[in-house]
Amino acid sequence: MIMNKLFKRLTFLIVVFTISACTKDFDIINTNPNAPDTVPTSYLMTNAQTYIMTTLRNNGLGGRMGMLYAQYWSQLALTDESRYYVFSGLTNNSFRDLYLNLYDLQDIINKCKENPEENGASGYAPNQIAVAMIMQAYTFHIMTDIWGDIPYSEALQAKVNTTPVYDQSEDIYRSLIEKLKEAINLIDVSQPGMRGDIIYTGNMNKWKRFANSLIMRIGLRSGDLNAVREAAPNAFQSNDDNANFQYAATGSAINPLYVDWVENKTLGKQFAVSKTLVDYMLNNNDTMRLAAFATNLEKNPNKPAIYRGLTYGLTNNNSILEFFKGVSLQTERIYKADASTPLMNYDEVLFILAEIDNDEGKFREGVKNSAMNWGVEKASAQQLADEIEYKGLESIINEKWVANYMQGIQGWAEYRRTGYPELKAPVDGYHPSAMVGDLVVPNRRQYPPDESQLNGVNYNKTVEKLLDPGGQQQTPMFWQK
């Protein structure tokens, strides 16, 4: 969806009112940044979806954390983050921006509850509330998987709360399942859907399926298999149900990787596809999906393709030396201006069902649908699925990892939960300031330093419970293996 001048103007107004509502210390999650009352809820939804996906898939939180920690990518230069140095500015900005957009979603909920008829031009009010709740659940789920305990129950209160408590991650998980069920029950498919919705363009049947699929993901990770089984019949049924965000060729909703890599001329200077991923896929003869992920180094079209990943966790000098020997970069499909990016796909539902029932058939269906989702023809996708060896949980998670390419935070979470795939500790060792002990990858992200100043009492109570309050990266999540 291309945002027109009116939307840009309204987005500007939202930013202006947001900043004016904040304290001089930019107290983000502890201040209510209300948008002006005249902004339609449809614009709030477009704005929230756009900037949530931008924050999660940009060069920062998406590239320099998620795609590195899951070892889909390796850093080419300034390789500190692949060796687990944490830039405080990136963490501060990501934490702040996600809460700002959660506020936009809460604003939709509040407006539709208080004045359903007045806001009816953007869709049937309960449907609007449901979409906003599902997007909030998606966002909070990812945030608690990154940081663990976070402000949740008091974070989006209508009245200004300068010191929201940090809720336990396990409690947040339970609440999210209930919130998703509540959202599902609100949906009336006979009534108009949410306008301004980029993901499903207001198709409420698909929002129902997405909500049930999210319940399956959250339920599996937290061990609530009853919730998984209850949601499964109404979850995604095919790739047609996939939740994807479509970037625009121009304007505010342009792919952030296009801006970072093409417009800012950094393509091939920051990331290459990781050797961990390339080697795994080559060993499985999975070259058709690999061709969608990584560039072919063989320039002669009459010769077999060559793919070579960059070793993970090199120092700057060693990374540059390996780069000059030839490594595969990301394909244009990943960074083109109007690319689409997944929130969750049908193949993940199949892998979840395969795991809880040790179902080889569902596993192979998951591989096939993932391959088709990446542009592989059905017959070739079926052949790939038939030929991959099945070894239970290891195979399921390994292939789920491949299918989750571009969802780096999910790949990282599944490794923490199961120990698969076989990721590598940084080859050249940890950054001198990394505080991860002997972990292969961090168990969580350090909290934003701003929080120690803006919400110090609750921040201190939370970090005191961690194994390593100084580094905060070693304490496992409640759902970890």
Give the pLDDT confidence of 140-198 residue by residue, as tens digits. Answer: 999 999 999 999 999 998 656 778 999 999 999 999 999 999 999 999 999 999 999 99
Chain centroid to CA 373: how far? 18
Bridging pattern class, strands 271-273 and 73-75: antiparallel
Given a cut of 70, the residues of the chain with pLDDT beneath it are 1-37, 158-160
Task: Give the DSSP letter of residue 461.
Answer: H
Q: Domains in the chain: how many in total?
A: 1
Structural contact between residues 115 and 176, judged by C-beta atoms closer than 8 angstroms: no
Q: Is 318 a member of any domain?
A: no
Single out the residue of 436, 438, 437, 391 nearest to residue 418, CA to CA.
391
Structural contact between residues 204 and 193, judged by C-beta atoms closer than 8 angstroms: yes
Task: Give the DSSP letter of residue 379.
Answer: H
Q: Is 478 a member of any domain?
A: no
Structure tokens at 345: 């796909």
| Tally of CB atoms within 10 A around 59 | 19
3-state secondary structure at position 184: helix
Q: What's the maximum distance between 2 C-alpha atoms anywhere in the chain? A: 66
Structure tokens at 383: 């052949």
Amino acid at 45: M
Structural contact between residues 216 and 228, judged by C-beta atoms closer than 8 angstroms: yes
Residue 344: which H helix or E strand, with range? Answer: strand 340-344
Q: Is 325 a member of any domain?
A: no
Q: Is 47 a member of any domain?
A: yes
pTM > 0.95? no
Q: Write out the residue range of the structural domain in which residue 188 sits.
A: 5-256+336-463
Structure tokens at 97: 């921006």
For residues 368 and 321, give the distance between their C-alpha atoms in angstroms, rounded to a whole number.
37
For residues 106 and 96, give the distance between their C-alpha atoms in angstroms, rounded to a whole number.
15
Task: Give the DSSP letter of residue 270.
Answer: S
Q: Which residues on neighbouring strands pair with residue 74, listed in sequence order?
A: 272
Residue 178: which H helix or E strand, with range? Answer: helix 169-186
For residues 65 and 94, give the distance between their C-alpha atoms in angstroms, rounded to a whole number.
11
Amino acid at 67: M
Q: Is 134 a member of any domain?
A: yes
Structural contact between residues 247 and 255, judged by C-beta atoms closer than 8 angstroms: yes
Query: What are the respective helix, strand and coil percentages of the chain, to the nearest 5?
Result: 55, 5, 40
For residues 256 and 96, give the distance between their C-alpha atoms in angstroms, rounded to a whole number.
18
Q: Is 266 a member of any domain?
A: no
For residues 103 and 170, give the distance between their C-alpha atoms in angstroms, rounded to a whole number.
22
3-state secondary structure at position 20: helix
For residues 362 and 318, give the distance between their C-alpha atoms in angstroms, rounded to a whole number.
42
Single out the residue of 193, 64, 174 nearest to residue 128, CA to CA.
193
Residues 6+ apart with CB under 8 A from 12: none
For residues 208 and 204, give the distance between their C-alpha atoms in angstroms, rounded to a whole number.
6
Please confirm whether the linkage preceding 116 is cis (ω < 30° from 0).
no
Residues 6+ apart with CB under 8 A from 28: 22, 95, 96, 99, 100, 450, 454
For residues 307 and 297, give the distance between their C-alpha atoms in angstroms, rounded to a whole number.
6
Single out the residue of 276, 210, 287, 309 nearest to residue 408, CA to CA.
276
Q: Is 383 a member of any domain?
A: yes
The predicted structure's pLDDT at residue 469: 84
Residue 314: which H helix or E strand, with range? Answer: none
User: What CATH number did the domain enclosing 434 receive?
Assistant: 1.25.40.390
